[in-house]
Structure 1
Amino acid sequence: MKKTIITLITILITGTTLFAQQSVRFVTSGTIEYQKRVNTFQVMGNVVAPSADANIKARITQVVDQYKKTQSQFATFNSSLSFSGNKTLLTPILPVTPYQSFQLNPITAESNTIYTDLAASKIVMEKDAMGEQFLLSDSTRKVKWRITNETRDILGYNCIRANGIISDSIYVVAFYADKIRVSGGPELFTGLPGMILQLAIPHENVSWVATKIVDSEPAKAIAPPKKGKPVTTQQLIATIKKGMDAYRVSGINVDYYLKILGLL
C-alpha cells in the first residue's frame, strides 16, 4: 500500500512538472512579419523648413494640400524578421506597386535590410538613400529602456510595455514578448529581454506591429547583406547632408530628413 501511494505521488509530480514545462515553452528561432504604419498627413507638416520665406511656404503648402486630396492618410509597409539564437535579419516585403513617397521622405520608405548580431552588438544594414545603395556597419543602437507593469496580448503572446529614449530626447514605446527569448525587434530596435512585437515613435507618427509569427527555424540561413558602398553611420550622414544641402534654398526641412535617416 505504501509503495502504491509513493508511486501515485511520483506520477502526479512528474505529470505536473511536464505540464509546467509544456505550458512555459520558450521560442528561440522563427520568423515575424511586421507592418509599419505612417500618418503621412502629419509627417508632411515637417517638410517645410522653419526658416523658409513666406512665398516658399505657401508654394509647398499648396503641393501638400493637393497631395492630401489624392492620397491616403496612412501608408503601410511590410517586412519580415528571421531570427535564430542571437542573430536576426530584417528584410522588406516589397509591394506590387511601390509607394510614392512625398519628397522622398525616408520615413515613408520600405524597411532597410538589417542584419543584427546581438551577441556581438553589431549590425550590417543595406540602405538606399539619395538614389544610392550603402552598406552600413555599426554597433547596435543604445536605447534607455524602462520596463513597466502594463501588458497586452499580441498574436497570443503576453507582451510587456517598455518606454525608451533614443538620441537623448526621442520617446519610443515598445511591447515585447519575454517568451520569445531573442532581444530583437523591427528596424534598429533591440535591447529588451524578449522580442519586440509592437513599437511606436509617437512624435514621428510611425509605428510597427507584428502581424504573423512562425516559431520554427527560418528556411534560409541568417547572413548579413552584401550590396552597397561600405560606410559607417557618420560617413553616411555626412554624405547625405552634403547631397541635401542644396535643398535648403528651396525651403525643404533638411534637418528633419537627417534626423529621420538617423532613426531608421
Structure 2
Amino acid sequence: MKKTIYYMFMMLVFTQMQAQKDFQGMAVYESKTQPPKLDGMRGPRDITPEMQKSMEERMKKMLEKTFILNFDKSASIYKEEERLENPGQQGGGMRVMMNSFMGGGGTFYKDVKNKSYTVDKEFMGKEFLVVDSLPKLNWKMESETKQIGGYTCYKATAVKEASKTDFRNFRPKNNDDKKPEEKKEDVKKTSGVTKTNFEDNFEMPKEVTITAWYTPEIPVNQGPENYWGLPGLILEVNDGRTTILCSKIVLNAKEKVEIKPSKRGKVISQKDYDETVIKKMEEFRETNRGRTLSAPPMMGR
C-alpha cells in the first residue's frame, strides 16, 4: 500500500513538472504611440493646418503596430506581426528617420531565468545582434486593479532612463519656457525662407515613468518588449506616449513555438549599439541640415 501511494505521489510530481516544462502561451499586443502635435513647430511657411493634420494622421498610423509574444516559464520571443503594405504608399526621409530611430524590425528574445536578452536589429542597411543583460526596474506595487480581457490585473509603476535611440521617447520642445532672448534668436534663424530639421523641434527626456498592469493568473515573469520582473504576465504598459495593450491570449495551444534567440547579425552590446546609432544619426542630421520639413507624401508608411 505504501509503495502504491509513493508511486502515485511520484507520478503526480512528474506530471506537474512535465506540465510546467511544456507550458507555453501566446499573447497579442497592440502598440500605439501618440504622435507629437506639429502646431507651433518651425517649418516651411507654405504648410497649412490641413497639411499638418494630414501629417499627424499618417504619423499616427505609422506608429500603430501589432506584436506577438510567445512565452514559457523561462523565456519569450516578441516580434511584430507581418502585414502587407499598400503598394501605393511611398517611403521618404521622414519614414527612414523614424524607422532608424525605432530600430527596425527583429525578434526580441528574453531569458528571464538568466536575466539576459537578444534582439536582432537592422539599422541603415546593417544587421546587428544586440546581446545584453535585462534592465532591472524597481517596480512599485500599487493597490489599484482592473480587468483586461477577463483577467484581474494589478498596477505597478517604475521610472527608467529614456533610451536615446528610441524615437518614441522624443517629446516636442516647449518653447514657452524659453527666455525672450532665446525666442528672438529663433526668429532670426527662421526668418525669410524657413529651413529646419524635423528633429530640431524635439528633445529627449532624461527618464520616463512606466505604468504596467500584470495578472498573477498567468504566473510568468514576462511582458512585451523588454518589460519583465512582475509576478504575472504584463498585459498593459504605458510610458506616457506609447501604450502596449494585450488583445488576445492563448495558453497551451497544441502547436508549440520554438522559443530561441536569433543568431543573425554582428554581436554587439546595447551601449555600443546605441553609440553607433547616435553617431550615424548625427551624420544623417548634418547631411540633411537646412532641408525643409516635407509635405505629407514624405510620411508614407
**Length, aligned pairs only:** 214
Within the alignment, does 1:105 sit opposite 2:141 as a pair? no
- Conserved in 2, the CA contact under 8 Å of 1:161 and 1:176? yes
- Indicate which of 32, 37, 41 corresponds to 1:37: 32
C-alpha distance in 2 between matches for 1:174 and 1:166:
13
Identity of aligned residues (%): 23
C-alpha distance in 2 between matches for 1:64 and 1:105:
22
C-alpha distance in 1 between matches for 2:46 and 2:146:
40
Q: Which residue of 2 is the match for residue 199 of structure 1?
A: 237
Q: Which residue of 1 is the match for residue 281 of structure 2?
A: 244
Within the alignment, does 1:163 sit opposite 2:148 as a pair? no
Q: Which residue of 1 is the match for residue 171 of structure 2?
A: none
Offset, 1:228: 1.5
Post-superposition Cα deviations, 1:157-197, rounded to whole Å, max 9, x if no partner, equal 10001111111731011000111111111111111111100
- Indicate which of 117, 124, 129 corresponds to 1:135: 129
- When the two structures are superposed, what TM-score results if normalisation uses the length of structure 1? 0.71
Q: 1:61 to 1:123 in 2, by over 3 A?
A: farther
- Larger RCO, structures 1/2 (Cα 8 Å, 6+ apart): 2
- SS of residue paired to 2:43: helix
Q: 1:227 to 1:64 in 2, by over 3 A?
A: farther
Offset, 1:95: 1.7
C-alpha distance in 2 between matches for 1:63 and 1:138:
46
- Conserved in 2, the CA contact under 8 Å of 1:77 and 1:111? no
Offset, 1:92: 1.3
Query: Which consecutive unaligned segments of at least 5 residues does structure 1 have?
Result: 1-25, 49-56, 253-264
Q: Which residue of 2 is the match for residue 69 of structure 1?
A: 54
Q: Which residue of 2 is the match for residue 223 of structure 1?
A: 260
- SS of residue paired to 2:282: helix
Q: 1:175 to 1:102 in 2, by over 3 A?
A: same
Q: Which residue of 2 is the match for residue 234 of structure 1?
A: 271
Task: Give the counterpart letter for 1:213 in structure 2.
Answer: I
C-alpha distance in 1 between matches for 2:77 and 2:34:
26
- When the two structures are superposed, what TM-score results if normalisation uses the length of structure 2? 0.63
- SS of residue paired to 2:139: strand
CA-based RMSD of the aligned residues comes to 3.1
C-alpha distance in 2 between matches for 1:63 and 1:191:
47
Offset, 1:216: 0.7
- Indicate which of 197, 208, 212 corresponds to 1:174: 212
Post-superposition Cα deviations, 1:217-243, rounded to whole Å, max 9, x if no partner, equal 562221111111211111111211221
Query: Which consecutive unaligned segments of at least 5 residues does structure 2 have?
Result: 1-19, 162-205, 292-301
- SS of residue paired to 2:278: helix
- Conserved in 2, the CA contact under 8 Å of 1:126 and 1:135? yes
Q: Which residue of 2 is the match for residue 259 of structure 1?
A: none
